[in-house]
Amino acid sequence: MENGEMRMHTDGEVDVRGAYCAISVAKLCNLEQFEPKLFEKVSDWILSCQTYEGGFGASPFNEAHGGYSFCALAALKLMGKESLCDIEKLTYWLVNKQMKFEGGFQGRTNKLVDCCYSFWQGGMFPIIHSVLMSDSDYLQENQNWLFDSESLQEYILICCQANFGGIIDKPGKNRDYYHTCYGLSGLSVSQYCMDNTVNICENDDSLVNRTHPLFNIGFEGANRAINYFKDHLIETLD
Amino acid sequence: MSDSESSDDYDSIAIDKNEWSDLNPINQDHETNEICRIAYTENFNDVFGYFRAVLKANEISERAFDLTYKAVKLNPANYTVWFYRRILLKELGKDLNHELKLVTQIIDQNPKNYQVWQHRRNVVELLQDPSKELEFTEKILQQDSKNYHAWQYRQWVNKNFALWDQELDFVSSLITVDYKNNSAWNHRFFCLINTDHSESVLNREVDYCFEKLNLNINNESVWNYLRGLVDLMVKEGFGYPEKVCQFCNLKLESKKEDELSPFLISFKIDYNWTRAIEKKNSDANAVKEIVQQSILYLNLLAQKYDTIRANYWKYLLSKWKQEFDQYF
């Protein structure tokens, strides 16, 4: 779209998820070889989605929300533009989304905890760490993310496992694939530090594989895909 | 899950295959080893089988239009059906006011569905008639005062049709009911930015924050809004509002434990940082005092008042040390 917005589909809704989906696929498959200017105005539009609270909303002025914030930050990072947002404000908003009693994350200010935000919110910390550490010896030496990893792992494993397997939003809810996926993804982010060392807070067999913080697919798999498409330039369709 | 296949609705969404004898339904392309095949009902398969056929044939007809109704009742999240229905609405010259009534009903039943809100937006845009929209979003917000789609849609109506007059009263009434409704506070900021945000208005807004903080000092929504106001006042050249410092200092002097909100303390630390940077090369004594107070507060937060964020408070401590090393 002209001003950098991206629609989810033809005459569909405009929101930052569209930008993230397009950019992450393009990066994985090296599609920019065809159209280097594909995402020229998108970063400016994404930046305009950062609110006074510090997080990002779906579109400019919409309420700061974990899901949309992840999409915004990951998309910016993929374009190399992550430092253009107000990282300090984002970090302050983000750390305050961890619930001090539950240990899990909420999606928006003054709302309830939900296990899926273990990834949407938790998953932003590796990206933020990579930005802030360039100006901080403390973060270069300190491998832990800026949230309470132990409390998050406890919330996921102790409060959010359904009786017969699967992960739930919060106690009292039913299991589903979405919460199982993002609960496990958030667990993975908590368990692996910046330097790939492991930080298991429950018993050892709770360790999961490492997820790629930008694509949320297996870390090794993501790297293999990127390398494959870098080496194999796709023939154009015409 | 949708209960649109209940017996009341069944006749309106059941398909009459006699009507479709001229077309072959197109099956969804099933691989032989699906990880998890969805157990569609026979009617669901029929409706979507014929929909795929209609789509492929590009059929523009009344029966196609009726079919899209059945399809969206069965799965309101199927954006391809909504897309095709919009084409049919146009090509068949359908009554858009009637369509608005229909989408009202479907949103009421599926208030967290993306596609139905987008469809309403498309219809209202064509009609260029926002007269029912504020009332409609208000009704949805009465059921769920934080429905993200409803707020997002309302913002679009406000901006697209320049309908601002009711907003401040609307948002204030929601905050009165629940002063922790962050969606309402966010909407308040949106209205402010898009209408009058002169110095007197912003000062009034600061007083409004104080009023709400006096009800509950530990309300993150208000502190975030206040930060937004203060940033805006500085950006607009009105300067940092003195009464905010005074308010914070007053609260910080309180001896009561439950008055020492982490948001209050971190607000002060943030203020201190700006002051300390300002005075860095001009007033060493003042900077020393500010730095010492900030270290004290950061340690209090990390060790006592907000331990879950200890890693973050320690990081901030490192930033203070990095910048003001000589005062440590």
DSSP secondary structure string for all residues of B138-175? HHHHHH-TT-HHHHHHHHHHHHHTT--TTHHHHHHHHH
Using beta carbons and an 8 Å cutoff, which residues of B are at the interface with A? 79, 83, 86, 114-115, 117-118, 121-122, 146, 148, 151-152, 155, 180-183, 186-187, 189-190, 193, 219-221, 224-225, 227-228, 231-232, 266, 306-312, 314-315, 318-319, 322
Of the listed B56, B101, B112, B321, which one is catalytic? B112
Full-model pTM: 0.94
Exposure letters B132-162 (e unless 16+ CB within 10 A, then b):
ebbebbeebbeeeebbbbbbbbbbbbbeeee
What is residue B83's predicted lDDT score, i.e. its pLDDT?
Answer: 96
Angle at A90 between CA A114 and CA A147, to 5 degrees: 55
Q: For residue range B91-145, list pLDDT tens digits in order.
A: 999 999 999 999 999 999 999 999 999 999 999 999 999 999 999 999 999 999 9
Of the listed A27, A116, A160, A182, which one is catalytic? A116
Banded pLDDT at B234 (limits 50, 70, 90): very high
What is residue B259's predicted lDDT score, i.e. its pLDDT?
Answer: 67
The low-confidence residues of chain A, meaning pLDDT below 50, are 238
Q: For residue range B152-198, list pLDDT tens digits in order.
A: 999 999 999 999 999 999 999 999 999 999 999 999 999 999 999 99
Query: Please, what is the average pLDDT of chain B?
Result: 93
Residue of B79, B183, B192, B224 to mutate when probing chain A, most A C-beta within 10 A: B224
Portion 12-31 of A in contact with B at CB < 8 A:
12-13
Q: For residue range B260-273, list pLDDT tens digits in order.
A: 899 999 999 999 99
Nearest to B301 by CA among B267, B251, B250: B267
> What's the rounded Cα separation, in Å, for the pair B135 and B116?
17
> What's the rounded Cα separation, in Å, for the pair B86 and B74?
17
- Is the pLDDT at B33 greater than 90? The verdict is no
B-chain CB neighbours of A52 within 8 Å are 189, 224-225, 227-228, 231-232
Query: CB within 8 A of A83, min separation 6: which ones?
Result: A131
Active-site residue flag, A108: yes
Token pair of B281 as six digits: 């090369």
* Residue among A58, A63, A93 minimizing CB distance to B183: A63
ipTM score for this prediction: 0.94
CB B181 within 8 A of CB B145: yes
Token pair of B187 as six digits: 């909407």
